[in-house]
Amino acid sequence: MCAELYDDVNTSTTICASVSSPDSADEEALVPRIRLDTDGPVVTVRLDHPPLNAFDTVLRDELAARVRDLADEPRVRAVVLYGGERLFAAGADVRALAAMDVEEVRGWNRALQRTFDEVARLPMPVVAAITGYALGGGLELALAADHRIAADDALLGQPEVLLGIIPGSGGTQRLTRLIGPSRAKNLLMTGRRVDAAEALRLGLVDEVVPAAEVHTAALRYAHRLAEGPAAALEAIKEAVDHGTDTAMSTGLALERALFTGVFATKDARTGLQSFLDQGPGKARFENPGQGAP
């Protein structure tokens, strides 16, 4: 398995895992590549496909299955995406990609794009905890989150152009919506990597912390959101994510419908009454459980 780690627009380093025999490859496919760690109402979805968390068919499909399970679990109030202490994800399995023909790559890409779309559509807040590299498909996964916290030594980028291709799993679309067309084109057309400080200036990440504290910081933020009113948080995601892709009048109509729906919830009654009785910020909202089993 290989992934490209780019030093600048002119040079790259290819890191490859050892090539398995067919029998050992079959055995490897049986080893889970996604680990779910539960901390009360927050679940960490950890990519566990060393050495690079490179996306192949097995990792892609397992991530999709775990995300679908989480979407239907009301006890999960927030999700953290994490690749481990060393790196988030270094992109696609380049060797496997190079072996595909056009029809094969079309189907593979459609499925990976659909998987990241499912991450973006999770009803609860999603926080990406970025360590080391988040390149190519790795950055595209992070872009599907609602909030990104990066290690101070992290490197992020969409280097696909250096392979003669373009991002195919949201990189051209989510990156542009996040940092704007001009800045997105610069990163996409040069394939350059940015460090955490520049990523913060660009708005590519929301917070930078010491490398050893990334997962802790992501959990802390996720727990803060998990204590909030679930229906309101879900409605905010829908209003922002879908409203920005429509005309203002359509977005306002969506907001109006969501506002009315949320107003009818128990959490709205709790929040309004708490404000009247105690002032702002004192409400304790309903928590349906203590996380996934």
Q: Does 283 fall in a domain?
A: no
Q: Cα torsion for 11, 2, 46, 127, to the nearest 10°?
A: 30
Q: Does 57 fall in a domain?
A: yes
Q: What is the pTM of this model?
A: 0.88
CA atoms 269, 272, 275, 277: torsion sign: negative
**CA pair distance 69, 223, nearest whole angstrom:** 20
Q: Does 284 fall in a domain?
A: no
Q: Does 266 fall in a domain?
A: yes
Q: Does residue 4 register a pLDDT over 50?
A: no
CA atoms 73, 74, 76, 77: torsion sign: positive
| Full domain range(s) for residue 272 | 230-278
The first and second tokens of residue 133, run together, are 């590299």
Catalytic residue among 28, 140, 198, 213: 140
Domain with residue 54: its CATH number is 3.90.226.10
Q: Does residue 293 register a pLDDT over 50?
A: no
Task: Name the domain boundary from 226, 242, 266.
Answer: 226
Task: List, for residues 43-98, the tens digit of each pLDDT value.
Answer: 999 999 999 999 999 999 999 999 999 999 999 999 999 999 999 998 888 888 89
Query: Tokens 């990792």 appear where?
Result: 59
pLDDT at 29: 58
Report cis status (omega within 30 of 0) of the bond before 181. no
Residue 140 known to be catalytic: yes
Residue 160 known to be catalytic: yes
Query: 12 and 142: one domain?
Result: yes
Catalytic residue among 28, 160, 234, 255: 160
**What integer is the mean pLDDT of 185-198?**
98
Q: Does residue 7 register a pLDDT over 60?
A: no
Q: Does 286 fall in a domain?
A: no
Query: 111 and 243: one domain?
Result: no
